[in-house]
Amino acid sequence: MSTFKAPKGTYDLLPPRSATFLAVREAISTPLRNSGYGYVETPGFEDVKLFSRGVGESTDIVSKEMYTLTTKGGEELALRPEGTASVLRAALQGNLHKLGNLPVKLWYSGSYYRYERAQAGRYRHFSQVGAEAIGAEDPALDAELIILADQAYRSLGLRNFRILLNSLGDKECRPVYREALQDFLRGLDLDEDTLRRAQINPLRVLDDKRESVQKQLVGAPLLRDYLCDACKAYHEEVRALVSAAGVVFEDDDKLVRGLDYYTRTTFEFVHDGLGSQSAVGGGGRYDGLSEMIGGPALPSVGWALGVDRTVLALEAEGVELDLPTATSVFAVAIGEEARRTLFGKVTELRRAGIAADFSFGGKGLKGSMKDANRSGARLAVVAGERDLAGGVVQLKDMETGEQRAVALDDLLDAVRAELA
């Protein structure tokens, strides 16, 4: 055993469970790739100001959870705690918004880092797949992203998730609501930290998960009662488009999400089988974020879905994914000449696109066949000196145990026929 362990709140992703994570990433990204979203990849760390300006200094992510570091050159950097700000920064830096084809539709996948209290389903290092549609104010884009996320989850076999939907208004109507909410919060028995947060962004208090705070929020003014006509019309169009696609959602007047940059549409995917940490993903519209980080006005919308959380949801529902077999053919050689010959045949099978493996380490027949069983291979190719002298190998069906001799030169065609 190594002297070192993975840092607290992190994990190593190892086979066979890692295959499920890969399948989840593939399932989430497939609807995006089929809908005009191109892949983007950003650095694992960014200028700390990108997140303090964009995500918001009043958020727990920036004030409590961000990993920061100072380089030898004196630069203040942060490990990325979320993906949207980084992707928007990359799109601006690459001038994608100037190519005349808006919106710019991008998807990404990677690891993110937050210094949180480590617990089941909430890690300090976690994986997400995200999507961003940059540069267009269109309720159809908001609806498209909600529908694509729903499609991804259903393609995995998930059924017991819910979509929560709300509107946070915009710069015209939210200030009026903000003032009304602050007046309400001043009359509550809140700790100093929460009161400070209420002064910076009172909507953050609505997102407070503590029961002592939630009890006091009964009777708080609702944002829907303060939406301007334009925001009401926009929200109703999003709701109508999502409903027309057959996607079921629930209106949640208190849904604000944990980031300051959201405007208008906000949504969350929750799974009740995960206990208190029920969110598996979410997102919304962030029309002012580009200006916050020094770019032009680029109304945008996006989401991020947690790969770790999605895997936990699959396990909670007892869903077993139909994962591709890592190995289709396993070669077992008896003797040195057979080793050299079968190693060449394994290379030939791989070049033909067939997943093939080889018994390494000079094990005998018994040990090699154990390796073949553990690999999950459909077929085993077995050969010794006597087989090679006759120009054949033995092709064994690992499910039925049936075995037959196949001419060495015909092995590729025989394997293809068996696997078909």
Between 259 and 108, the more confident residue is 108
- Using the CB atoms, write b or e for 82-101: b if 16+ within 10 Å: bbbbbbbbbbbeeebbeeee
Average pLDDT of the segment spanning 212-227? 88
107 neighbors 88 (Cβ within 8 angstroms): no
Q: What confidence score (pLDDT) does residue 57 get?
A: 58
User: Which two tokens mark 75?
Assistant: 């630069």
Q: What confidence score (pLDDT) does residue 390 get?
A: 95
| pLDDT reading at 54 higher than 80 | no
pTM: predicted TM-score of the whole model, two decimal places: 0.89
Specify the CATH class of 329-419 in words.
alpha beta
Q: What confidence score (pLDDT) does residue 188 get?
A: 86
CA atoms within 13 A on the CB side of 319: 20
Q: What confidence score (pLDDT) does residue 60 get?
A: 63
Phi, psi (degrees; rounded to nearest 5) at 382: -120, 135
Model confidence pLDDT, tens digit, residues 165-189? 999 999 888 889 888 988 898 888 8
Segment 16-24 long-range contacts (CB within 8 Å, at least 24 positions apart): 17/311, 19/323, 19/326, 20/311, 20/314, 20/321, 20/323, 21/127, 21/307, 21/308, 21/311, 23/156, 23/321, 23/323, 24/156, 24/307, 24/310, 24/311, 24/314, 24/321
Give the whole-angstrom CA distance, residue 355 versus residue 240. 47
Phi, psi (degrees; rounded to nearest 5) at 333: -110, 140
- Cβ of 32: how many Cβ atoms within 10 Å? 23
Average pLDDT of the segment spanning 157-169? 95
Enumerate the H helices of 167-246 as residue ranges.
174-186, 192-200, 203-206, 211-216, 229-244
Q: What confidence score (pLDDT) does residue 40 get?
A: 98
User: Which two tokens mark 420?
Assistant: 């078909």
Q: What confidence score (pLDDT) does residue 59 get?
A: 61
Q: Which of 81-90, 203-212, 242-251 has the lowest mean pLDDT?
A: 203-212
Q: What confidence score (pLDDT) does residue 56 get?
A: 64
- Give residue 157's Cα distance to chain centre: 16
Residue ranges of domains in the chain: 17-173+227-317, 329-419
Question: In the structure, what pLDDT confidence band is assigned to residue 268 with cuts at 50, 70 and 90?
Answer: very high
- Cβ of 194: how many Cβ atoms within 10 Å? 18
Whether 329-419 and 17-173+227-317 are alike in CATH topology: the answer is no
By percentage, how much of the chain surpasses pLDDT 90?
71
Model confidence pLDDT, tens digit, residues 72-122? 999 999 999 999 999 999 999 999 999 988 999 999 999 999 988 777 667
Please count the residues of the chain.
420
Average pLDDT of the segment spanning 206-221? 84
| pLDDT reading at 58 higher than 60 | no
Q: Provide the CATH topology of domain 17-173+227-317.
A: BirA Bifunctional Protein; domain 2 (3.30.930)
Q: What confidence score (pLDDT) does residue 420 get?
A: 87
Helix or strand run (H / E) with residue 280? strand 279-285
Model confidence pLDDT, tens digit, residues 295-343? 999 999 999 999 999 999 999 999 999 888 789 999 999 999 999 999 9
Question: In the structure, what pLDDT confidence band is assigned to residue 260 with cuts at 50, 70 and 90?
Answer: low
Q: What is the mean pLDDT of the chain?
A: 91
Closest by alpha carbon to 71, among 99, 32, 45, 89? 45
Between 59 and 207, the more confident residue is 207
Q: What confidence score (pLDDT) does residue 278 get?
A: 87
Q: What confidence score (pLDDT) does residue 222 get?
A: 87
Q: Which of 196-200, 255-259, 273-277, 331-335 has the lowest mean pLDDT?
A: 255-259
Question: In the structure, what pLDDT confidence band is assigned to residue 265 with cuts at 50, 70 and 90?
Answer: very high
User: Which two tokens mark 410?
Assistant: 């015909």
15 neighbors 65 (Cβ within 8 angstroms): no
DSSP state of 122: B
Question: In the structure, what pLDDT confidence band is assigned to residue 369 with cuts at 50, 70 and 90?
Answer: very high
